[in-house]
Structure 1
Amino acid sequence: MTGKKTILGLAVAGMMASAGFAHAKTVCYVNAADSHAYATPANEALLASAKEQGLEILSLSQDFDVQKGTEQLNTCVARGVDAIILWPLDPQAYIPGLARAQQAKIPAIIINSPMSDDAKPFLKSFTGPDVYEEGEMAADALNEALGGEGSVVVIAGQAGNGTTIGRVGGFTDRLAEIGSNIEVLDTVNADFDQQKALVMSRDLITRFGDKIQGVYANDDTMARGFIDAWKEAKPSEDMPPIVGINGQKDAFESIRSGDMYATIVQSPAEDGRLAAETVGKILNGEDVADRLPIPLTVVTIDNVESVEPAF
C-alpha cells in the first residue's frame, strides 16, 4: 500500500440505513496532500460529509507527486472499492488508472482540478471550481485595476497541472477577448508554494523592476510570495496591483492594507463537501451532472467587509 491512509468508518447501522446503504460503502480518495493550506480543509470537509452519509473513506495522500498518485489510483482499483474520488495533479497521467476503474465497474469522479477531454469517458463527474472562469475573472479585475493597459507578470502554479492550465488560459484568453492592452512580461511557475513564489518574484523584480505594473498569481499563497519580495526589494515604492485566487484570510488582510487589489473566493469546504455528496448520490443510484461547479466571488476593497474568507 502506498501513501498515508486514513479510514473513517461508521458502525452505526441506523446511520448507514439513513444514508440509503444496506452495508457501508468504501470510497477511495486519492487526495492532493494531507498538509496544505487549501487541501487540508477540503479533505476535512469531504471526510465529514462522507461520515454523515455512512461512507467509509480510504484516504491516500499524493503529497503533490503525480507518479505516487497514479500508483495509489491503481491500488484503489486493486482493492475493489465501491467508488473513487481523485484529485488530479496532471490532466493526462491518471487516464490509464481511470480506464482500469471503469473496467472494474468502479465509478470515479474528480475533485478540484480538471483533466483533459480524454478522461471524460471514464468519469461520472467533476466537482470543483471552474478554473478557466477564475482566470477570466482575474483578467477582468487586473484590467480594471490598470485601466486597460500596462505590463504584468504571471506567477503560475505547477507546470502541466490542470488548474494552472485553466487559470492561465482563462486569463490570457480573456485579455484578448476584451481587447486589453495589458502585456504579459513573463509567466513563471512557482508550484502553488509561497517560498518558491518568493524566489521567483525576486528574479522577476530583478529582471523587470518598475516595468512590473501588475501581478496575477494563480493563488493567494503565491501572491504573498510576491508581496514579500517587493517589500524586500522596493520598501519605499507602492505595491503594483495584485490579483490572487482562493480567498484566504491573508489575502483579505492584504486587500484591506492595499497590498492586493483582489482575490477570487473559492471555498475548500464546499469543494470537499460537494465531492462527497456527489459520490454518495452515485452510490445511491442517482444521476449526477458531469460538471458540478462551486460558487466563485471576486473580492476587492469594495466588498471585502461583506464577504467571508474561504479559509
Structure 2
Amino acid sequence: MTNRIMTLTVAATLLASTAAMAQDKPKIGAAVYGLNAEFMQIWAAALEQHPAVKQGLVEVTVFDGRYDALVQQEQFETMVTQGFDAIIFVPIDIEAGAAAVKVASDAGIPVFGSNTRVNSDLLSAYVGSDDVQSGYMEAKYVLDKIGCKGNVVVIEGPIGQSAQIQRLEGNMKALAECPDVKVLEDQTANWSRAEAQTLMENWLTAHPGEINGVIGQNDEMALGAIEAIKAADLDVKSFAIAGIDGVTDALLAVKADQMASILQDGAAQAQGALDLAIKAVDPTYEPMSEIWKTYADMPWNNGADKEYSVPWTPVTLENVDALLALRQ
C-alpha cells in the first residue's frame, strides 16, 4: 500500500509539473490577412518550422483573416479573451488594422507587425521588407525591357493594404523616369491570379496589340496575366512582365524567361517576428531562428529595434535553380 501511495504521489507531482510547464508556455497568435495563396502559406509554414515551435517551447496559433479587416478585428478580440501572450499581425488594411492593435494594446498584449504594415504607434516592432523599393525594382525591369517607351498596364494589390500603397509608389517613381511610357490600365486584382487573368483578358481585347509591359504588384497577378496572354495565343516573351514574391510558379516562369520576380523572404519575416514576440514574453530569450545569421545587415540588437528590414533578392537565371531547390 505504501508503494502504491508513493507511486500515486510521484504521478501527481509529474502531472502538476507538466501542467505548470504547459501553463508557462508562451501562447502566440499570428493574425494573417489570408491563406489562399502560396506566399502567405510559406509565411505561415515558417512559423511552424521555427526552432522554438518545433522544440515545444512556445505555442503558436495562425488565424486566417480571409482578406477581411472585420474578421481580423474579431480574431484579435478572441485572442484577448483567450489570454494570448503576444500577437503577430499581417493586416489586410493599413488603417482599419489600427483598431485591432488598440484592442490588444488595451489588454496589455504586445503586437508585432510582419510583412504588411498598420498605421499605429502602438505596434511593438515590425519585421518586413521595403515595398517602395520592390515596386521600383519591378517597374524598372519592365521599363528597361521595353526601352522606356510604349504602353504598360499595372495590376495592383488590395486597395488600402500597405504593400499595394507602397509598391504603387515605387511603380510610379520608376514610371516618372520614362515620360514616353503610357499606362493604359491600372486596377486591383486583390493579389489573385484568377482576378488578374480576367483583367488581362479584358485589356488584351480593349487594347489589341498595344500592351508592351505588365507590372504586377505580386507574382500571382503577374502569372494571371501570363495565363491570359497564353489563352489569347500570344507570345508571352513578346511582353515585359514582372511580379514580386518569388512563389514557386514565378520561379519556374523566370527559368522559362517569361517574367521577372523579386524574392520576398516571408520565412524570415515570420520567424523574425516570432523571435521578437517570444522575447517580449521572456526577456531572457535569445533568438533561435537562423535568419539573423542569414542577413548580416539585419542585426538582432537584443530585440530592441522598432524596425527590422529583410532584404529583397532579385530572381535571376543564375540563382533560380537554388531557390527552387529550397521548395522541395
Equivalent position of 1:132 in the other structure: 132
Equivalent position of 1:6 in the other structure: none
Identity of aligned residues (%): 26
3-state SS, counterpart of residue 153 of structure 1: strand
Amino acid at match of 2:174: R
Deviating runs (4+, > 4 A) in structure 1?
A: 304-307
Equivalent position of 1:75 in the other structure: 78
3-state SS, counterpart of residue 261 of structure 2: strand
Amino acid at match of 1:84: I
Equivalent position of 1:145 in the other structure: 145
TM-score normalised by L of structure 2: 0.80
Give 1:180-259 correspondences, 5 Å limit: 181-235=180-234, 238-259=237-258
Distance 1:237 1:25 in 2: 50
Equivalent position of 1:98 in the other structure: 101
Whether the 8 Å contact between 1:46 and 1:275 is mirrored in structure 2 is: no
CA deviation after TM superposition for structure 1 residue 81, in Å? 1.8
Distance 2:236 2:137 in 1: 27
- Please identify the structure whose Cα radius of gyration is greater: 2
3-state SS, counterpart of residue 183 of structure 1: strand
Q: Which stretch of the first structure deviates more once superposed, 287-296 or 232-241?
A: 232-241
Distance 1:164 1:150 in 2: 24
Whether the 8 Å contact between 2:236 and 2:258 is mirrored in structure 1 is: no
Equivalent position of 1:41 in the other structure: 42
CA deviation after TM superposition for structure 1 residue 70, in Å? 1.0
Whether the 8 Å contact between 1:111 and 1:128 is mirrored in structure 2 is: yes
Q: CA RMSD in A?
A: 2.6
CA deviation after TM superposition for structure 1 residue 72, in Å? 0.7
CA deviation after TM superposition for structure 1 residue 245, in Å? 0.7
Which of the numbers 311, 315, 318 marks the counterpart of 1:295? 311
Distance change >3 Å, CA 55–CA 236, structure 1 → 2: closer
Whether the 8 Å contact between 1:155 and 1:187 is mirrored in structure 2 is: yes
Distance change >3 Å, CA 300–CA 34, structure 1 → 2: closer
CA deviation after TM superposition for structure 1 residue 242, in Å? 0.3
Amino acid at match of 2:139: A
Distance change >3 Å, CA 238–CA 83, structure 1 → 2: closer
* Aligned pairs, number: 290
Distance 2:198 2:128 in 1: 30
3-state SS, counterpart of residue 160 of structure 1: coil
TM-score normalised by L of structure 1: 0.84
Equivalent position of 2:323 in the other structure: 308
CA deviation after TM superposition for structure 1 residue 215, in Å? 0.6
1:171 aligns with 2:171: yes
Equivalent position of 2:286 in the other structure: none
Distance 1:256 1:58 in 2: 36
Distance 2:182 2:190 in 1: 23
Whether the 8 Å contact between 2:276 and 2:303 is mirrored in structure 1 is: no
Equivalent position of 1:62 in the other structure: 65
Whether the 8 Å contact between 1:127 and 1:293 is mirrored in structure 2 is: yes
* Cα distance per residue 1:59-101 (max 9 Å; x no partner): 2211222211111112222333211111100001121221232
Equivalent position of 2:123 in the other structure: 123
CA deviation after TM superposition for structure 1 residue 237, in Å? 7.3
CA deviation after TM superposition for structure 1 residue 58, in Å? 2.8
Whether the 8 Å contact between 1:47 and 1:276 is mirrored in structure 2 is: no
CA deviation after TM superposition for structure 1 residue 180, in Å? 5.1
Amino acid at match of 2:73: T
Q: Which stretch of the first structure deviates more once superposed, 276-285 or 90-99?
A: 276-285
Gaps of 5+ in 2: 1-14, 284-301
CA deviation after TM superposition for structure 1 residue 200, in Å? 0.8
Amino acid at match of 2:251: F
Give 1:257-272 correspondences, 5 Å limit: 257-260=256-259, 262-272=260-270
Amino acid at match of 1:33: G
CA deviation after TM superposition for structure 1 residue 252, in Å? 2.5
Distance 2:228 2:179 in 1: 27
Amino acid at match of 1:257: A
Whether the 8 Å contact between 1:220 and 1:263 is mirrored in structure 2 is: yes
Distance 1:133 1:22 in 2: 43
Which of the numbers 92, 107, 124 marks the counterpart of 2:110? 107
Equivalent position of 1:3 in the other structure: none
Distance change >3 Å, CA 277–CA 181, structure 1 → 2: farther
